[in-house]
Amino acid sequence: MTTLLICLPLAAALIVWVLPLNPVSAGSLSLLAALAEVGIWIQLLVRYDFSKGGLQFSEQHAWIKDLGVSYHVGVYGFSVWLIGLTVVVLAAAIAYAFWAGRERTRAYMGLMLFLTGAIVGVFTAQDLLLFYAFFEAMLIPLYILVGVWGGPGRLGATLKFVLYTMAGSLLMLAAIIAYGLSQGTFDLVAIKPVSSDWLFLGFVAAFAIKAPLFPLHGWLPDAYRESSPEVAAVLSGVVSKAAAYGFLRIAITKFPGPAHDFRAPILALAAVSLIYGSLLAFRAPDMRGVVAYSSLAQMGLITMGVFAVNDLGLDGSVLQMVNHGLVSATLFLVVGMVERRTLTGELGRLGGMARGRPALATVLLTAGVIALAVPLSSAFAGEFLILAGIFQRGWGWAVAGAVAIVLAAMYVLRLVSAVLHRDVGPAVSESALDLRPAELGVTVPLLVCLLALSVWPAAITQHSFRGDHGAFDVAEQFK
Amino acid sequence: MVWGAWICLLSPLVAACAITAGGTHLSRRAAGWLATSSCVVAFAGAVAAFVGLLTHTASDRQFISTAWTWISGGKYQSGLSVIIDPLSVFMMLVVAGVGGLIVWYSIGYMDGDDEERRYFAYMALFVFSMLLLVQSGNLILLLAGWGMVGLSSYLLIGYWHQRPSAIAAAKKAFVMNAVGDATMALALFLLIQQGNSLEFGVLGGDFSSTVANLVALGLLGGAVAKSAQIPLHTWLPDAMEGPTPVSALIHAATMVTAGVYLIVRTHAIFEQAPKVADVAAGLGAATLLLAGLIALVQVDIKRVIAYSTMSQIGYMFVGAGIGSYPNAMFHLMTHAFFKALLFMTAGIVIHALTDEQDIRKMGGLRRLAPKTYWAFLVGSLALVGIFPFAGFFSKDSILAAAMAKGGAFGYILWAAGLAGTFLTGLYTFRLLFVVFWGEPRAFVREHFHPLGRDVVAFSLAIPVGILVVLSIVGGWIQFSPWWHPVETWLQTVAEPIVSPASWQEWTSIALSLLLGLTGIGVAWAVYGAHRVAVPRIAWAQRTLEHKFYFDEAYDALFYAPAVFLAKFLRRGVEQPLIADSGRDLGDDTRDLGSFVARAQTGLVRTYALAIASGVAVLAIVFVIVK
């Protein structure tokens, strides 16, 4: 089943690339494949035995016997939710791309499908080299999607993105090789935890670039600004979670000693990302800037939760990964919808869009208030658990988080009112339509997921890790 | 009983969702009636819960109904649960009852606005949030209700979103409340660390005094922000930008009193942290005086009432802070009646004068709108606390309790409360005389248009009529020297820790009546009888008009530095160091690229070799240095 989940989109990508379909049928086929993927995931969700936990649906085939490399995939409780996030957001992104119409549809759709398979691979790989292969396979379509279909500054953005992520990937590859060779196996389940600071830092650097964390976020503003909205949605919603997943699955599990020793500096970087991102989001001149920097802030928060290495922090960060993935994807898609109507994202030229456009106003407002983690939303539940977890590692971290709560209110409300309220901006024409049914069809399901999670955040927090795990038993989770 | 509570909680939410989903399929009037009837249903549910509780003996009146586990993290978990006990039922009745009247009134007030449906969806959402706040069965859901109330007040204050001032006011209210949410959240983190639980029961546990003080301070921060007490009060007067029924709902009946409810609900922790409880009472006393002074110079009819709200909640904070919980709750209830009445009559005045709120343009409305005048008079008398109106019964017992607390601090609170009574008489009747007495100004003669006899007028008049009755008789429920059913009802949840002797009761009653009447007399002498120009002290006037410079101070202390820091980070760090360094990196790479281009042989095996050897070198480095 896991392999099916990985291979279905890859196969669909091949079909879309190879068959000479017209844009409509290529789009429909891709959307169908994406929805089928969601269907398979629902099967996985239903059939995964949460009461038992641990690795399930695992498949293992020898690959390079001498080195202990194998094709080993499988899912843990929390990976079920991350896969769910991936397939849902990618389905929405593909649907939006189909509706908005991208040039060279077949190539575009194929890349999106390929991306889906690769990300699912990252979340299911249980072998270090396989993980690396999927990680790279995830980045390559993104380079092309940003570089070919992006905005006017796409080349610079892509170059930066490639340079940063390549640096991270190489560090990770070197760390993987050194780690695997020293232990005689690359199997993520079987490999023993070690206490090498350098290997730990190699992994952390790679993930910190991908997340990103301050000050390694140089690629982020340009990449999020120049890519098409659905690619930005995938980048900030899903791809960044691969980094958080790496922190959780590799950094703290396989390197418990260094994770403990380096806790303070890593938490400091995460806290700085949180505050710094929030402040920059508060002054960003355009819609994408606000969402992009808020993404930086949120990844800082999630990283804090992971490195709290206790029940509250870990449960909270898995929940928050899903929340942030859904909400930032929604926001980027809405940004795209606004830009379609006004041809700009500059806050100074927007305004007054709520009048006569109730659907747009409702969608943006709902996504916005969830993004600022209004209490009772699932994002609130996630932030609350993370901060409650980090509080136990030192109250100062939680105070930084509490400051960020206030800052989040400031930047989200600024965004919402700059787009929706006050006088009608110069870029907003009278004839700019309300959201069309297709656009609602893309955003409303994402919001429904978020509202459902708000009613029952424990759906994720009770079904991520096995039983009653103590802070030092994290490694136990992965046996 | 349990069903009643859940119906009470959920029916406004259902209405809000239905109005949002219905969109234009629903007529505007229908949206209004849907919201109103959801409040009626909620009130019926509250009554059912009340009756259900009555069938149990007093010691047995606490039920927690959990739907499912809402949130969990390791050993900590909290359910989606409602609490049904005398305190929550008391609040449910007030919130659903007064809230319902206000929503009903809105049908008339908002008639003809072009986005009525949105308005009623927000109103229903607000009532839901408030009910969630008072019904939540544990602290995290209480915080959830707390935040949702903040959100819906943001939506309602900023309802007229094309007005920049309304949007600014709405944002200010939300952000100030978020500060309170944050301090509450910190208190909750500490509780989780202590005992892995956020049930109300843990508050009575055994904490070290540091922990108790910190938790109480965190909760107090939330209470102060939501109830607009000094120093987090500056959002409230600005919040008058919202439609008048909103002001009535948020600033009279419900939201701002949430802080008082919170203190009473969590009194166990405040009793372990007596110093923090004293801080609460002290802030209340300071607020009631300062707000009373500021109200003297305001010229916007709604702002005068808004400051009087702050002042009255100051009384409730004094009551809750010194441990006279039932009296604080009783004053909360009577205040909901007469303050909603005052806001709603003010709304009728504003409506009749084509949305004018400046009292300097009003005057002489007594003859033009006699029924409104009488309603306003009843509200004013109840506010000042004149026998036999509602405020008389509740305010004086708080003063008596302050006296009973004794000590220098108790008497300071008592004296502040008495001085506040004088101020209340003065500013309330200043407003009444200026607006209703004298000759109609030119503006009034030109713009006044009386209400017709249509549905709009009835929707305005009937709720006001009901509130007039409640403001007259609502206080008779409890007259502390002789009978106290409110105290008996709340006893199992919040047992008061001070009990005034009867001479203290009567002294307070006599003095506060006297001072209230003096205030009215002075107002009459200055504004009623002669309408003379008042002698003014320039600096005092200026200080009051600037509301003691709180806004300016916050701007200078927090907002400006935050903006400055953000700008500095953007220009000084992000642009030059991170964004552009990347660009330089890109350029350098391109230069390097053209240099290295010679290595591009086009042979895949060369590349593979290069990559492999590079990685190998890195791997060796890692192996060696580890």
pLDDT given for residue A155 in this prediction: 86
Cβ contacts (< 8 Å) between B148 and chain A: which residues?
374-376
Q: How many CB pairs under 8 A join A and B?
A: 210
Q: Lowest-confidence range among A451-465, B31-45, B228-242, B406-420?
A: B228-242
For residues B139-158, give the mean pLDDT.
Answer: 91
Cβ contacts (< 8 Å) between A420 and chain B: which residues?
161
The verdict on a CB contact (< 8 Å) between B72 and A462 is yes
**Cα(B110)–Cα(B19) distance, integer angstroms:** 16
Cα-based angle B420, B292, B467 (whole degrees, multiple of 5): 85
Identify the band that residue B607 occupies on the pLDDT scale cut at 50, 70 and 90.
low
The distance in angstroms from the start CA to the end CA of chain B is 67
For residues B175-193, give the mean pLDDT.
Answer: 90
Instruction: Give the 3-state DSSP-derived string for B155-188, with helices as H, strands as E and coil as C.
Output: HHHCCCCCCHHHHHHHHHHHHHHHHHHHHHHHHH
**Cα(A436)–Cα(A333) distance, integer angstroms:** 13
For residues A29-43, give the mean pLDDT.
Answer: 95
**Which of B159, B564, B571, B574 is the mutation pick for testing A, counting most A CBs within 10 A?**
B574
**Cα(A155)–Cα(A147) distance, integer angstroms:** 6
Q: Among all residues of chain A, which has the CA nearest to that of B149?
A: A375
Supply the mean pLDDT for chain A: 90
Minimal CA separation from B408 to chain A, in Å? 36
**Of residues B144, B567, B616, nearest to A375 (C-beta):** B144
SS3 B537: coil
For residues A30-51, give the mean pLDDT.
Answer: 94
Q: Tell whether A155 is within 8 A of chain B (Cβ).
A: no
Cβ contacts (< 8 Å) between A357 and chain B: which residues?
none
Locus of tokens 């552009």: B580
Kind of pairing between the strands at A69-75 and B63-73: unpaired
pLDDT given for residue B356 in this prediction: 81
Residue type, B541: Q
Minimal CA separation from B378 to chain A, in Å? 39
Tokens of A91: 């389905």
Alpha helices by DSSP H, B296-440: 301-321, 325-352, 365-368, 370-384, 390-405, 407-436
The verdict on a CB contact (< 8 Å) between A280 and B569 is yes
Q: Tell whether A184 is within 8 A of chain B (Cβ).
A: no
For residues B379-384, give the mean pLDDT.
Answer: 90
Most confidently predicted of A29-38, A220-229, B315-324: A29-38
**Of residues A156, A196, A413, nearest to B174 (C-beta):** A413
pLDDT given for residue A305 in this prediction: 93
- Give the tens place of pLDDT for each residue, B61-89: 888 888 889 998 888 889 999 999 889 99
pLDDT at A471 over 50: no
pLDDT given for residue A473 in this prediction: 59
For residues A312-338, give the mean pLDDT.
Answer: 94
Residue B535 φ then ψ, to 5°: -65, 135
pLDDT at B116 over 80: yes
pTM reported for the whole predicted model: 0.91
The verdict on a CB contact (< 8 Å) between A163 and B585 is yes
β-partners of residue B63 are: B84
Supply the mean pLDDT for chain B: 84
**Which of B66, B72, B132, B153 is the mutation pick for testing A, counting most A CBs within 10 A?**
B72
pLDDT given for residue A121 in this prediction: 95
- Give the tens place of pLDDT for each residue, A55-100: 899 999 988 888 888 999 999 989 999 999 999 999 999 999 999 9
Residue type, A85: L
Which A-chain residues 33-52 have CB contacts (< 8 A) with chain B?
none
- Give the tens place of pLDDT for each residue, B237-259: 888 888 888 887 887 778 888 99
Identify the band that residue A474 occupies on the pLDDT scale cut at 50, 70 and 90.
low
For residues A265-281, give the mean pLDDT.
Answer: 93
pLDDT given for residue A472 in this prediction: 44
Q: Lowest-confidence range among A167-176, A469-478, B73-82, B369-378?
A: A469-478
- Give the tens place of pLDDT for each residue, A373-395: 999 999 999 999 999 999 999 88
Taking Cα atoms as reference points, which of A206, A162, A177 lies closest to residue B612? A177
**Cα(A280)–Cα(A293) distance, integer angstroms:** 6
**Of residues B70, B574, B618, nearest to A457 (C-beta):** B70
Cβ contacts (< 8 Å) between A454 and chain B: which residues?
none
**Of residues B72, B586, B618, nearest to A174 (C-beta):** B618
Find how far residue B512's CA is from the centre of its chain: 27
Cβ contacts (< 8 Å) between A315 and chain B: which residues?
72-74
The verdict on a CB contact (< 8 Å) between A358 and B23 is yes
**Cα(A137)–Cα(A141) distance, integer angstroms:** 7
DSSP string, A227-271: S-HHHHHHIIIIIHHHHHHHIIIIIHHH-HHHHHHTHHHHHHHHH
Cβ contacts (< 8 Å) between A413 and chain B: which residues?
154, 170-171, 174-175
Identify the band that residue B204 occupies on the pLDDT scale cut at 50, 70 and 90.
confident
Residue type, B533: A
Cβ contacts (< 8 Å) between B133 and chain A: which residues?
none
Which A-chain residues 287-326 have CB contacts (< 8 A) with chain B?
310-313, 315-316
Non-local (6+) Cβ contacts of B335 within 8 A are B252, B257, B309, B312, B313, B316, B391, B394
pLDDT at B392 over 80: yes
Check residues B543 and B377 and name the one with the higher pLDDT. B377
* Inter-CA distances, B61 with B50, B83, B84, Å: 10, 10, 8
The verdict on a CB contact (< 8 Å) between B193 and A392 is yes
Q: Helices B86-109 and B258-265: crossing angle, nearest 10°?
A: 170
ipTM: 0.91
Cβ contacts (< 8 Å) between A455 and chain B: which residues?
80
pLDDT given for residue A125 in this prediction: 93
DSSP string, A334-398: HHHHHHHHHS--BGGG---TTTT-HHHHHHHHHHHHHHTT-TTSHHHHHHHHHHHHHHTT-HHHH
User: How many other C-beta atoms are found inside a 10 Å radius of the C-beta of residue B103?
Assistant: 30
Locus of tokens 């008389």: B392
Q: Tell whether A472 is within 8 A of chain B (Cβ).
A: no
* Inter-CA distances, B326 with A268, B496, B507, Å: 47, 7, 20
**Which of B25, B138, B626 is the mutation pick for testing A, counting most A CBs within 10 A?**
B626
pLDDT given for residue B195 in this prediction: 84
pLDDT given for residue A470 in this prediction: 43
Q: What percent of chain A has pLDDT over 70?
A: 97
**Of residues B162, B178, B565, nearest to A422 (C-beta):** B162
User: How many other C-beta atoms are found inside a 10 Å radius of the C-beta of residue B374?
Assistant: 14
Minimal CA separation from B173 to chain A, in Å? 11
Locus of tokens 């005057």: B363
**Of residues B75, B118, B182, nearest to A406 (C-beta):** B182
- Give the tens place of pLDDT for each residue, A110-146: 999 999 999 999 999 999 999 999 999 999 999 999 9
Q: Lowest-confidence range among B205-209, B409-413, B567-571?
A: B567-571
